[in-house]
Structure 1
């Protein structure tokens, strides 16, 4: 198995979508197709401007100078040969990091010349979509959890930073926007977390007293899940006609429409805590059973 296939197979195990995007990417990478060998025997990739990503003499020693020891979660911009990332993971085994590149094509090019499979499968490292991808922010927000990982730092290989000097402000803006979204979520949790937890505990206590049981249903029937949309009212006549063929699930907004039409749902599910949503339940429930939650 060649390097590319080995890396892709490893990546599929942790991030299938990213693996597929790399496979389907173009060949227009910013990395050169050739490599150089460091004095220590490691394979080093080059950018198209001819610059090496790592020291040709002792890339491991160079990488060790990259960290102060105060980093808790590091976002690496520029995969290179992964030497700096491996240095971080080997020296700080309880810390976490993520790696991104400028494009899917960059990942594709590097995957062809270096075996990253051991890095890809390291549980303390996350591979993120490239900075130019529309999915970067979403994946980054889902990856970095300040309450778990602690402080955040960006580490960029200097040759990589110089190569993308015109794009670095755009990349940094995207990262800052992601961090602001993360901070907003933390602020919301700080403001409402205790209230939410109190309500959860009270509701669990009430649920333990009620002991609701899900009724038995016929597994041979089709499930019909209903929400209040433009297609619901035109479908009411067919729902009535074939009522015995369905197990009906009604959401918040569909429930009053069904009641008005004389159709009793098997299940009514309300998940939205807004006043306008639970107001849909202010009419009497059918009395023949207790299927409504």
Structure 2
């Protein structure tokens, strides 16, 4: 509690709180005139640190360009104390205001702030409150800073792929509907296969040195899409290949696919349809899964479809999670380096190697192309490893895999991740009666309804509104109404 239990009265009659040292938290002359000063017109989501009597926050309610106000206090006791003041009561009743304390600020931001909707996020302080609580103010600043770092990578990915994801999901749903008599969903494997160790094969440089172990071992081989070409080149036909990439170029991973192989090709609904069609036309087994995209969840709510995690967005974690969903108790990773080793980013035999070698010349060599790929962002030397480098993105991917293993109770023992708990295998339906035309009509009409009243709270309360958040991120430089309209226009292409 940062306030005393005493309440003072300003000269204009307004009730104001006092800090524990007796100093007033608001003006003793005219607290109703208090306001937060901004360098430019405030907009988006505003975090106000320091609630006190609430006069300064009440002023913000009149700002039309502010869509969400998160007012935060030092602790829960202080927050409850502030709620007795008339201005705080008023702002607490407003739909666009959320009151919280420092301990649950991060949770509030994670569940209430959507950058695709609110765009800007600004932290401001009540001056007297900050002067009296500099340590708490610093802690709040750090919470907001860490939160922004955490979501910035995810939001930048949404802003880059949002439009492509929506396209791919709708086209893949249409593909499923057009082939409704075929099995695209079963993830059930025979028990003798599940008892094996699942080899999760990524395309890191160290795969060059572990190919022979995969050949000799009795593994159930689960390849990431990038490593698929390398395995085929080394006469290893994987049992499964995982793809979560939305880009058209990812279809090049599958150019080496044979006809009617033993391999099951697992595609996220966000995967590029060209990849799906290429594998399907070669008469290979296809299985669809879904990741975190809200449109995928909404479309498949009545399907028993495999749901997989990909951590920070890596196909390696997606492959591991698919193995876990199938019931594998033991996982061994190959080529999951999350680093640039031996002067290159990938193992031999990937689609990039073919691309770079075919386009190299005396002026721009293959080595130069690989160097350009690695030096896109700043490199950091890995201590204790010769000629090995990492980046902030790769470190985040590695941490994400470690978090996934811990969350799912996999412990590393002698190079193998072993589950410490019994994994329950799931029975997925073999076929789907999904009707694309029916879903598409509902989707289009749902967005059309939102366009009638495109307010943030209306969009966030609608399943259809949540389903278009990633593509709204793609249209980040537009107003919310214009972004929604553009999302609607894009969806009209896939009738």
Q: What's the TM-score, normalizing by structure 1?
A: 0.61
Is the contact made by 2:58 and 2:90 (CA closer than 8 Å) also made in structure 1?
A: no
Matched, 1:60 2:32: yes
Q: In structure 2, what is the Cα distance between the partners aligned to 1:74 and 1:160?
A: 17
Deviations 1:254-280 (A, max 9, x none): x2257989xxxxx95312283452895
Which 4+ residue blocks in structure 1 deviate beyond 3 angstroms?
91-95, 112-117, 257-261, 273-276, 278-281, 288-293
Q: Among residues 277, 280, 305, which one is paired with 1:269 in the alignment?
A: 305
> Partner residue of 1:70?
41
Contact 1:269 1:292 survives alignment (8 Å): no
Cα deviations by residue, 1:82-102 (Å, 9 ceiling, x for unpaired):
111110102437532111111
Q: CA–CA distance in 2 between the matches of 1:161 and 1:200?
A: 48
Q: 1:187 aligns with which of 142, 156, 159?
A: 156
Distance of aligned partners of 1:268 and 1:175 in 2 relative to their CA distance in 1, 3 Å threshold: closer
Answer yes or no: is 1:203 the counterpart of 2:172.
yes
1:207-248 per-residue CA deviation (whole Å, 9 max, x = no partner) reads: 332458xxxxxxxxxxxxxxxxxxxxxxxxxxxxxxxxxxxx
* Separation in structure 1 between the aligned mates of residue 66 and residue 126 of structure 2, nearest angstrom: 23
Is this contact kept in 1: 2:67–2:96, CA < 8 A?
A: yes
SS at match of 2:83: helix
> 1:199: how far off?
1.8
Q: 1:162 aligns with which of 121, 127, 131?
A: 131
Partner SS state of residue 34, structure 2: helix
Gaps of 5+ in 2: 195-302, 310-317, 328-426, 435-495
CA distance in 1, matches of 2:64, 2:432: 53
TM-score normalized with structure 2 length = 0.38
Q: Tell me, yes or no, if the aligned pair for 2:46 and 2:70 is still in contact at 8 Å.
A: yes
Structure 2 partner of 1:174: 143
Q: In the alignment, which residue of structure 2 is the partner of 1:146? A: 115
**Correspondence list, 1:22-101, <5 A:** 29-63=1-35, 66-67=37-38, 70-72=41-43, 73-92=45-64, 95-101=67-73
Change (3 A) 1:81 1:211: farther
Q: 1:213-292 residue pairs with structure 2 within 5 A?
A: 252=187, 255-256=188-189, 269-272=305-308, 274-275=318-319, 277=322, 290=431
Quick check: 1:86–1:119 contact (8 Å CA) kept in 2?
yes
- The one of the two structures with greater contact order (alpha-carbon pairs below 8 A, sep at least 6) is 2
119-128 or 187-196: bigger deviation: 187-196
Task: Please state whether the residue corresponding to 2:165 is helix, strand or coil.
Answer: helix
The 2-side partners of 1:91 and 1:291 are apart by 49
Classify 1:290/1:173 alpha carbon distance in 2 versus 1 (closer, same or farther; 3 Å).
closer
Check whether the contact 2:48–2:71 (CA below 8 A) recurs between aligned residues. Answer: yes
Cα 1:191–1:93 change in 2 (3 A) is: closer
Cα pair 1:98 1:127 within 8 Å, conserved: yes
Return 5+ residue gaps in structure 1 as ranges.
1-28, 213-249, 262-266
Contact 1:77 1:99 in 2 (8 A): yes
Aligned to 1:126: 98
How many residues matched?
Answer: 213
Q: Distance in 1 between matches of 2:305 and 2:109?
A: 33
Secondary structure of the 2:62 match is helix
Which residue in the other structure is 1:216 paired with?
none
C-alpha separation in 2, matches of 1:173 and 1:251: 45
Deviations 1:17-57 (A, max 9, x none): xxxxxxxxxxxx21111111222222111111112121111
Alpha-carbon offset, residue 182 of structure 1:
2.1
